[in-house]
């Protein structure tokens, strides 16, 4: 393996070359935006460079797409200076060394004190367990609020479980009278949380997502679509 660079219209294209017993020269770009070229043993470097030049437009387009993807990819890490939402409020994470592990929120600063401030995975576990404790009263209050809003429906008060989920904001199991809420909802404002809770409670009446189901949600929360949109656009990113 060796690193090579060619210039294409003044843009340097750096690639890693691997010699193999292959017939065709091949270029690939990985998810980090690294260019990997494989070529047969003995193929002159000029021919390899000509090949790359013939692919240069595609390479530049692909690199731009990789960069765009990496910029919009949900960031699920917790680190010093990270911007995140807490109940709809934009906050910044501060991490400092301490002889005790604790987290406190002061206005819009989430201060993480940790014995291992440089261990990202440990910090993340610490953050998630703190967030789960914060979430319990918030989610409980939302369930009570939505339950009394729709008191006429005679829905039982469900048991709530909180999980950090990747694909759903919530789920409902009417048979076991249980509602599961995504810990990630803690990023969103209370109206967004109420909307998810109301949605799950209404599954006690309708298990599907039919017309009657949405009519019932609309009856108690006419602006539910706005909350759903905000939730999925503004608060979608990881943690
Ligand atoms: Zn549903």
The pLDDT confidence band at residue 131, using thresholds 50, 70 and 90, is very high
Q: Is residue 77 part of a domain?
A: no
Domain enclosing residue 164, as ranges: 83-234
Do residues 56 and 88 share a domain?
A: no
Q: Of 72, 103, 128, which closes a domain?
A: 72
Q: What total of structural domains would you count in the chain?
A: 2
5: CA distance to ligand 1 center in Å? 53
Do residues 150 and 192 share a domain?
A: yes
129: CA distance to ligand 1 center in Å? 26
83: CA distance to ligand 1 center in Å? 30
CATH code: domain of residue 160: 3.30.2010.10
Q: Across-strand partners of 24?
A: none
Number of Cβ within a 10 Å radius of residue 113:
17
Do residues 148 and 56 share a domain?
A: no
Do residues 182 and 90 share a domain?
A: yes
Residue 137 has pLDDT above 70, yes or no: yes
Q: How does pLDDT run across 24-42, given as a tens digit for each residue?
A: 999 999 988 999 999 999 9
Taking the C-alpha atoms of residue 159 and residue 182, their distance in angstroms, rounded to an integer, is 14
CB 205 within 8 Å of CB 216 = yes
Q: How does pLDDT run across 40-77, given as a tens digit for each residue?
A: 999 999 999 999 999 999 999 999 888 877 766 667 88
Do residues 98 and 165 share a domain?
A: yes
Do residues 87 and 63 share a domain?
A: no
69: CA distance to ligand 1 center in Å? 29
238: CA distance to ligand 1 center in Å? 21
Q: Of 72, 106, 126, which closes a domain?
A: 72
**pLDDT confidence of residue 77:** 86
Q: Where are the alpha helices (DSSP H) in the chain?
A: 45-54, 56-72, 120-149, 190-202, 211-220, 224-234
Point out the least confidently predicted range of 4-13, 85-94, 96-105. Answer: 4-13
180: CA distance to ligand 1 center in Å? 11
206: CA distance to ligand 1 center in Å? 9
Do residues 111 and 205 share a domain?
A: yes
pTM: 0.70
Do residues 66 and 88 share a domain?
A: no
Q: How does pLDDT run across 184-223, given as a tens digit for each residue?
A: 999 999 999 999 999 999 999 999 999 999 999 999 999 9
**pLDDT confidence of residue 72:** 66
Point out the least confidently predicted range of 125-134, 175-184, 186-195, 227-236. Answer: 227-236
Taking the C-alpha atoms of residue 78 and residue 8, their distance in angstroms, rounded to an integer, is 39
Residue range 119-125: average pLDDT?
92
Establish how many alpha carbons lie within 13 A of residue 72's alpha carbon, considering only the half-sphere containing its beta carbon. Answer: 7
232: CA distance to ligand 1 center in Å? 15
135: CA distance to ligand 1 center in Å? 21
* DSSP for residue 21: S
222: CA distance to ligand 1 center in Å? 17
Do residues 119 and 219 share a domain?
A: yes
Q: Is residue 208 part of a domain?
A: yes
157: CA distance to ligand 1 center in Å? 17
Phi, psi of 143 (to 5 degrees): -60, -40
**pLDDT confidence of residue 234:** 87
Do residues 20 and 123 share a domain?
A: no
């Amino acid at each position: 393996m060796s690193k090579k660079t060619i210039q294409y219209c003044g843009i340097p294209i750096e690639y890693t070359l691997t010699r193999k017993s292959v017939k065709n020269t091949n270029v690939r770009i990985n998810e980090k935006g690294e260019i990997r070229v494989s070529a047969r043993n003995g193929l002159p470097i000029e021919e390899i460079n000509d090949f790359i030049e013939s692919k240069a437009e595609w390479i530049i387009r692909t690199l731009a797409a990789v960069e765009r993807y990496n910029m919009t990819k949900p960031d699920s890490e917790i680190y010093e200076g990270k911007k995140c939402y807490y109940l709809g409020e934009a906050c910044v994470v501060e991490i400092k060394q301490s002889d005790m592990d604790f987290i406190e929120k002061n206005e819009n600063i989430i201060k993480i004190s940790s014995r291992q401030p440089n261990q990202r995975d440990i910090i993340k576990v610490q953050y998630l367990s703190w967030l789960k404790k914060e979430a319990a009263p918030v989610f409980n209050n939302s369930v009570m609020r939505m339950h009394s809003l729709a008191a006429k429906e005679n829905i039982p008060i469900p048991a709530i479980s909180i999980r950090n989920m990747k694909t759903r904001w919530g789920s409902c199991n009417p048979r076991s009278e249980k509602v599961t809420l995504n810990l990630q909802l803690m990023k969103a404002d209370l109206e967004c949380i109420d909307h998810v809770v109301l949605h799950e409670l209404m599954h006690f009446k309708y298990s599907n997502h039919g017309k009657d189901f949405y009519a019932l949600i609309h009856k108690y929360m006419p602006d539910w679509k706005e909350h759903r949109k905000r939730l999925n656009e503004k608060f979608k990113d990881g943690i």
